[in-house]
Structure 1
Amino acid sequence: MNPATSQSLFFQHLKSHVPPHKALVEEVAELLGISTDSAYRRIRGEKPLDLGELQQLAAHYKVSLDQLLNLQSDAVLFTGKPVASSPVTLESWLTHMLGQLQLMNSFGKRHLYYLLKDIPPFYHFQIPELAEFKMFFWMKSILHYDSLKGVRFRFGDPQYDAGHALCQRIVALYHEMPTTEIWNAESVNSTLRQIEFYHEAGAFASADDARLLYEKLAELLESIEYQAEIGVKCILKQPNSNRLPYRLFVNELILGDNTLLVELNDIRLTYLNHSVLHFLGTRDEGFNDFMFANMDNLMKKSTLVSGVGEKERNQFFNAIRQNIQQRAKTL
């Protein structure tokens, strides 16, 4: 393959990284500090890229040069935000999540696949009490805010105001995406353990706070059950205006790991969860083909309970409700 052809293929690959509402030539011109005419000549392969330009474009779009040069390598390129030199705050984490969802929703054809270990935060964010508890838990126990040492959780604290605003925007964007989720009955357990731990540690300002959280969690599960029943994305039983499809599978053998797979037009992405809150993403075609094949296999070995399977759906959600009720009785 001659250099001009390789360069043209490189730009074709870059085009898949550019949101549909943006023009590749304008982005290239801006990144390289050149005219649009010069950018066009590079894109068409009429003018060769120098190594500095190649490095700049590859770094900006997070493209693997191994893949570009057809090098045989077992390496898979992942990208992710957190670095040790830049401590993550709750607001920066939520803002990053918002940005990812905005990017996904900029594509006409899109679908999100979620292999759950925990109830997705998009659901907790729908109920203020659960959202505040999760924000407190993340800030205190995961992000280690010094300001929360020795501080008890209380509802309605002004420190959650900025988070609430971001959470509502995140919820709205999540419900603009057709979604497939694979659940296990244990997917609720991490939230239950967090409530139980904080209660036993005396970290609630009121003795009734844990009871209220159990009640709100049961309310949330009822809403998710309704969403599964009608097979349409909902926010607290209010269907999306576009009635976007929602599929819920139950797998009794496999507890997921919070892996996210996304289809955006002809692009596939995989997001792997790490360090509780964070994700690493890749566009590597071979890796994504493997992950999507694995997800497809899991769905085939799971029970679809959205839209159909009323008996199985009732059994699944009743088991989770009983689990919540049993925890509440121990208070």
Structure 2
Amino acid sequence: MKSINQTFVEKLKQQIPDNISTTDEIASVLGINYDAAYRRVNEKVPFTLDEVITLSKKFDISLNALYEINEPNSYLIRESKPIVNIEDIITYFEKLYKELSPLIGRDDASILFATREFPMFYFFHNPLLIRFKIFIWSTVLGILPMKKYIQFKDFEISDRLIKVAQKAGKAYNAVNVTEIWSFGSINNVLQQLLYLYNMRQIAQDDALLITDALRKELKKIEINTSFSKASTKRKFELY
């Protein structure tokens, strides 16, 4: 069986271009001399945890692929980088899907999700709600740079963004989940909608469509939490 160190070196070599020396690149990133890097590459000296994290961030290597070699029942996730533009949101949704995928169909795996807001995954079932969620992030939370008073009717997102969001939402719906909402989870999204309406950034017709879409999502959640619901093997609990 390969050691974690050996597997890590193999993944580093896959990420570093063939025309660049793996040893030189590791030495440069870690700020160590060539001999020290050479000993690590040839497994004379193991990488420290700090070095593994530094190199993983630099070369985008998932720690899951390393840790699960000896611990198949364990799973690691990484904190995402700050979102500053639309491409970052797409990358975030893609990574979200990758993090959820190993849990799909596993009876022994589940997610405990505590939130103060209406969970974003329920926005992902409807293109209108996806657009509304991104619009909230863009305006109310100030994540994305844009004109201060852009209208929702003029706000467009790409088909690619919609598809990756729906893909992440579908993966979440296939995983066993226990959700814990705060008392203000529903009120928060309604207050955001009201704020944008009062600021005249969302027209009444659009506000009503969004409200109706949210109501339908809540109805689905109510059905999923019903004890009489037996059409799915997914375990879902809401508190």
TM-score normalised by length of structure 1? 0.50
For residues 111-150 of structure 1, give each alpha carbon's deviation from its aligned partner in whole angstroms, at most 9, with x where no partner exists.
1101121111000111222221111111223245443332
1:106 paired with 2:102, answer: yes
CA contact (8 A) 1:105 1:173 kept: yes
For residues 157-184 of structure 1, give each alpha carbon's deviation from its aligned partner in whole angstroms, at most 9, with x where no partner exists.
5434332111111111112211111124
2: CA distance, partners of 1:183 / 1:60 = 37
1:244 paired with 2:231, answer: no
Distance change >3 Å, CA 146–CA 29, structure 1 → 2: closer
Distance change >3 Å, CA 202–CA 139, structure 1 → 2: same
**Structure 2 counterpart of 1:29, which letter?**
E
Q: How much does 1:61 deviate?
A: 5.1
1: CA distance, partners of 2:217 / 2:8 = 43
Provide the residue aligned with 1:57 in structure 2.
Answer: 52
Structure 1 counterpart SS, 2:157? helix
Q: How many residues align?
A: 192
Provide the residue aligned with 2:132 in structure 1.
Answer: 133
Structure 2 counterpart SS, 1:115? strand
1:208 paired with 2:205, answer: yes
Q: Which of 150, 154, 167 in structure 1 is aligned with 2:165?
A: 167
TM-score normalised by length of structure 2? 0.66
2: CA distance, partners of 1:231 / 1:90 = 41
CA contact (8 A) 1:104 1:110 kept: no
Gaps of 5+ in 2: 14-21, 24-38, 58-76
**Structure 2 counterpart of 1:244, which letter?**
R
| Matches for 1:131-280 after TM superposition, within 5 Å | 131-154=130-153, 158-204=156-202, 206-230=203-227, 243-249=233-239
1:31 paired with 2:31, answer: no
2: CA distance, partners of 1:216 / 1:30 = 44
Which runs of 4 or more aligned residues in structure 1 lie more than 4 Å from their structure 2 counterparts after TM superposition? 38-41, 230-233
Distance change >3 Å, CA 39–CA 163, structure 1 → 2: same
CA contact (8 A) 1:111 1:177 kept: yes
Sequence identity percentage = 20
Structure 1 counterpart SS, 2:113? strand
Structure 2 counterpart SS, 1:132? helix
1: CA distance, partners of 2:194 / 2:78 = 35
Deviates more, 1:183-192 or 1:146-155: 146-155
Q: How much does 1:90 deviate?
A: 3.3
CA contact (8 A) 1:132 1:160 kept: no
Gaps of 5+ in 1: 1-10, 16-23, 63-77, 234-238, 250-331
Q: How much does 1:218 deviate?
A: 1.0
Q: How much does 1:110 deviate?
A: 2.6
Q: How much does 1:223 deviate?
A: 0.8
Structure 2 counterpart SS, 1:114? strand
CA contact (8 A) 1:232 1:244 kept: no
1: CA distance, partners of 2:93 / 2:100 = 11
**Structure 1 counterpart of 2:234, which letter?**
L
1: CA distance, partners of 2:128 / 2:100 = 28
Provide the residue aligned with 2:33 in structure 1.
Answer: none
2: CA distance, partners of 1:196 / 1:220 = 19
**Structure 2 counterpart of 1:27, which letter?**
F
CA contact (8 A) 2:140 2:192 kept: no
Q: How much does 1:59 deviate?
A: 2.2
